Amino acid sequence: MHSQGHVVLLHAFPLNATLWQPQVAAAPDGWRLVARDLPGFGTSTAPAAVSMDGMARSVLRLLDAVGIQQAVIGGVSMGGYLTLALYRLAPERFSGMILADTRATADTEAQVEGRRTMQALVREKGPSAIADEMLPKLLGKTTQRERPELLDQVRTMIEGNTAAAISGALEAMVGRPDSTDLLPSISVPTLVVCGEEDVLTPPPDSKALHEGIPGSRLVMIPGAGHLSNLEAPEPFTGALSGFLESVTTAGSRA
């Protein structure tokens, strides 16, 4: 067996690290999966970040604190935006990358407007109002029909966050740069995953990532929406395991 590698998994907005439970519970042999709450989310007592770079620096501090020099780093949705911000800041910390249900482009004017509306909503009515607003878009139609218990699970994650963390993350997403120019410079093995029923970052966004990142592999997951790792854990974890095997092979050749 090869020496143990690390996979650092960054959660989606407006959730917490529990999102990664299915993968952490089925970690591929020889790999340690690390999923922590981002600043202000879940059980994190760190102050909420208001910029993607601020969030990225907090992840670098975490890596330093737990002694991880290099890892496969990736995330779903906002976790994907954060992964790209981290690569811009510290590409040397990556041995591989995972971008799931995310996009490289910055927010459109309509998306900025939507996030500003959500900031007002969370200030006035709190996290449960955000759950009401986002749940129908976070989970695919198949999941809502066949696994309704996930609606409760995701609602619990959203309602466990502070209004400050949600508002700060919205601010960070509005302010993030377009990363399209970064894609050709990504030189580590990269896995791009997307649920076929994702309405928030639909499949064309993932295809654009795949086409922009040299040598990346693209996996589409049928019957899953925006939270593909939670909605279709077996296909997602299978894609992850196959990818990590290829990272190990690439590492042993290097």
Look at residue 4 in the predicted model and tell me its pLDDT: 67
Distance CA 126, CA 191 (A): 35
Look at residue 136 in the predicted model and tell me its pLDDT: 95
Look at residue 147 in the predicted model and tell me its pLDDT: 96
Distance CA 76, CA 46 (A): 21
- Note the pTM of the prediction, 2 decimals: 0.96
Closest CA to 17 of 229, 174, 222: 229
- From first to last of its 254 residues, the chain has per-residue pLDDT tens of 445 699 999 999 999 999 999 999 999 989 999 999 999 999 999 999 999 999 999 999 999 999 999 999 999 999 999 999 999 999 999 999 999 999 999 999 999 999 999 999 999 999 999 999 999 999 999 999 999 999 999 999 999 999 999 999 999 999 999 999 999 999 999 999 999 999 999 999 999 999 999 999 999 999 999 999 999 999 999 999 999 999 987 766 65
The SS3 call for residue 107 is coil
CATH number of 5-253: 3.40.50.1820
The SS3 call for residue 8 is strand
As a whole number of Å, the CA-based R_g of the chain is 17
Look at residue 178 in the predicted model and tell me its pLDDT: 97
Q: Which sequence spans correspond to the domains of the chain? A: 5-253
Q: Which residues of 74-102 are buried (b: 16+ CB within 10 A; e: fewer)?
A: bbbbbbbbbbbbbbbeeeebbbbbbbbbb
Look at residue 234 in the predicted model and tell me its pLDDT: 97
Distance CA 81, CA 79 (A): 5
Closest CA to 52 of 111, 92, 106: 106
